[in-house]
Amino acid sequence: MISQPFETMESWVDFFSSVEMPILRQTSRRLDEARQNIDQINGRDIAAIVLQDPLLAIRVLAYIQPFRGKHLRSDITTIGNAIMMLGVEPFFKHFESPQTIESLLKDEPQALLGVLQVIRRVQRASRYAHDWAFERHDINIEEVALAALLHDLAEILLWCFAPKLAIEIRRLQQVDSSLRSATAQRQVLGVRLFDLQLALCNAWHLPELLKALMDDANAENPRVRNVVLAVNLARHSASDWSNPALPDDFSAIEKLLRVDRETLLLRLGIPDDQAQQILGAPVPPASDAG
């Protein structure tokens, strides 16, 4: 655990590259159950478990990258392909007895709550991204869903290993609701979390495609826009469906999927009473662009 920010980006990267990333306790239990039934488990079953846990997902991706050059000409951009290349038994052998987030933060209840909130948010974002990529007939749905799951990786790591700093960033934004996240991060950490995440991706040799899909600056690309909108929707609806940013989110998603507001709200599973309140506001027409 660190309580003071590092002075350089390199120090941040070195620190996060040296620690064992914990996984969710629920993930650990599911892996134990799968290991006990290893004869009936296949790579797809394991991938389904990994894709619910952003820290396990990044561990798998980082672990497999050195093998890529030895055996493959192309990048490994999905958990499914990574598991296929590793094999079921080697996977269980390498990821045996992992530390859990709950045990790491057992004496930091605020941090545990904070990180679980972020993980629930990225899980929702990943589901949204997956569903919309399927709807759009994306060339590789898992790449889009995985990018959404990993989009806020640096924030998750901060809650796990520098909880006091994560809490201070949150406090600053609660005090000043107009304070942008990047500004608060620079004040507390000396770096933006996005820049830290990009540096970690480079240090861990993650595929260029995944880095591009996680970069909001590439949002003119429909695949990246899919990820960005899924992340934004999950963030803005984390508490409820009354966030003032949601109407803009809905309009952008309608353009992406080429659906109307009523259809979108139905697909999102928004309760009828809240959907009626949302539909009571003027609905901008969906564009054919995207």
Percent of the chain with pLDDT over 90: 67
In a domain, 269, yes or no: no
Model confidence band, residue 165 (pLDDT cutoffs 50, 70, 90): very high
CA 117, 12, 100, 94: dihedral to nearest 10 degrees? 130
Q: Is the pLDDT of residue 280 over 80?
A: no
Please state, in angstroms and rounded to a whole number, the distance separating the CA atoms of residues 19 and 215: 25
In a domain, 248, yes or no: no
Q: 40: which DSSP letter?
A: G
Residues across the chain: 290
Report pLDDT for 240: 86
In a domain, 181, yes or no: yes
Q: How many domains does the chain have?
A: 1
Tell me the pLDDT tens digit for each residue of 106-128.
999 999 999 999 999 999 999 99
Q: Is the pLDDT of residue 151 over 70?
A: yes
Please state, in angstroms and rounded to a whole number, the distance separating the CA atoms of residues 42 and 99: 24
Please state, in angstroms and rounded to a whole number, the distance separating the CA atoms of residues 65 and 53: 19
Name the residue among 21, 174, 155, 38 with its Cα closest to residue 100.
Answer: 21
Q: 285: which DSSP letter?
A: P
Query: How much is the average pLDDT of 80-100?
Result: 89
Percent of the chain with pLDDT over 70: 94
Q: Is the pLDDT of residue 70 over 80?
A: no
Q: Give the pTM.
A: 0.90
For position 118, which CATH number holds? Answer: 1.10.3210.10
What integer best gives the mean pLDDT of the chain?
90
In a domain, 110, yes or no: yes
Q: Is the pLDDT of residue 74 over 80?
A: no
In a domain, 176, yes or no: yes
Q: Is the pLDDT of residue 178 over 90?
A: no
Cβ atoms 272, 279 nearer than 8 A: no
Q: Is the pLDDT of residue 277 over 90?
A: no
Q: Is 248 helix (H, G, I), strand (E, B) or coil?
A: helix
Report pLDDT for 290: 40
Tell me the pLDDT tens digit for each residue of 180-234.
999 999 999 999 999 999 999 999 988 888 889 988 888 899 999 999 999 999 9
Q: Which of 45-59, 70-84, 159-173, 199-213 has the lowest mean pLDDT?
A: 70-84
Report pLDDT for 72: 55
In a domain, 283, yes or no: no
Supply φ then ψ for residue 114, to 5 degrees. Answer: -60, -45
Place of tokens 């949002």: 219
Query: How much is the average pLDDT of 240-268?
Result: 92
Q: Which has more pLDDT, 284 or 275?
A: 275
Cα 120 → chain centroid: 9
Residue 236's alpha-carbon distances to 74, 124, 239, 262, in angstroms, are 36, 11, 8, 19
Q: Is the pLDDT of residue 160 over 60?
A: yes
Model confidence band, residue 289 (pLDDT cutoffs 50, 70, 90): very low
Range of the structural domain that residue 198 is part of: 1-205
Six-digit token string for 111: 């941090």
How many Cβ atoms sit within 10 Å of the Cβ of residue 272? 9
Report pLDDT for 102: 97
Report pLDDT for 210: 87
Q: Which of 115-119, 132-136, 244-248 has the lowest mean pLDDT?
A: 244-248
In a domain, 250, yes or no: no
Contacts of 191 (CB under 8 A, 6+ apart): 5, 9, 12, 185
In a domain, 272, yes or no: no
